[in-house]
Every structure is written in C-alpha cells, then in structure tokens.
Amino acid sequence: QQPVQSPQAVILREGEDAVINCSSSKALYSVHWYRQKHGEAPVFLMILLKGGEQKGHDKISASFNEKKQQSSLYLTASQLSYSGTYFCGTERLRALRTGGGADGLTFGKGTHLIIQP
C-alpha cells in the first residue's frame, strides 16, 4: 500500500527550513528517502531502520516513529541544490513478507521542493 506524503509541494527561499512527512498504514521495517531532479534518476538520501531512529546527512536529517509508522525528512538552511522531488519509499516488515530477500520499495507520490534564491 502506497505511503502518504505531505505536503505535495513546497516553495522556499534559500536558507529556509522544510519538513516532509511520510506515513503508512502498514507495519514497516524501513523507510527510505530519495531525491529526484528533473530528467535524472532518484538518488538515495538515507534509510531509517529502527523505531525512533534519526539519521543525518549534512543539513538533511530524518526520523522514523515506529509506533506511528511515520517518518519525517528535515531540510535545514536549504540550498539551491536541494530543489527536486523527494520520495519516501517504504519496506514492509520481513515477518509479513511471503519470501526472503528483497521485496522492493513502495514510493509515496512525492513532494516537489522549489528553492528560490
């Protein structure tokens, strides 16, 4: 089942902060975040594997609330290079899978982020 992302679009001035949310009605093992620029492939940002885990990457960080099956991506002091579409991708708990290995990610509809100078 597709995770729900919000907001659909954000317009920021350079240096401002943004939060993108992702929620699922299904129990998750992990949440991934990817950024895709126009005409390019999605690029991995980070993966969150445990409840309450937070990860950071430069000025981009994320959290995962396992109890609520929600994840948030935080972009602080945004730069022009942050523009693009952000997708969360969710992976179900292994116990709920029909087999081993990988099941692939189900992506949310995306959040279109525009950073203006």
First-to-final CA distance of the chain: 37
Residue 56: name the closest of 73, 79, 32 by CA: 73
Q: Minimum CB separation from other proteins for residue 59, in Å? A: 20
Choice between 16 and 103, CB closer to other proteins: 103
Choice between 12 and 109, CB closer to other proteins: 109
Peptide bond just before 7 cis, omega within 30 deg: yes
Choice between 20 and 110, CB closer to other proteins: 110
Got the DSSP string for 46-63?
EEE-STT-EEEETTEEEE
Q: Minimum CB separation from other proteins for residue 77, in Å? A: 25
Give the integer Cα–Cα distance in Å for 31 and 93.
11
Q: Minimum CB separation from other proteins for residue 82, in Å? A: 19
Which residues contact other proteins by CB under 8 A? Answer: 2, 29-30, 32, 34, 40-44, 47, 49, 87, 89, 91, 94, 99-110
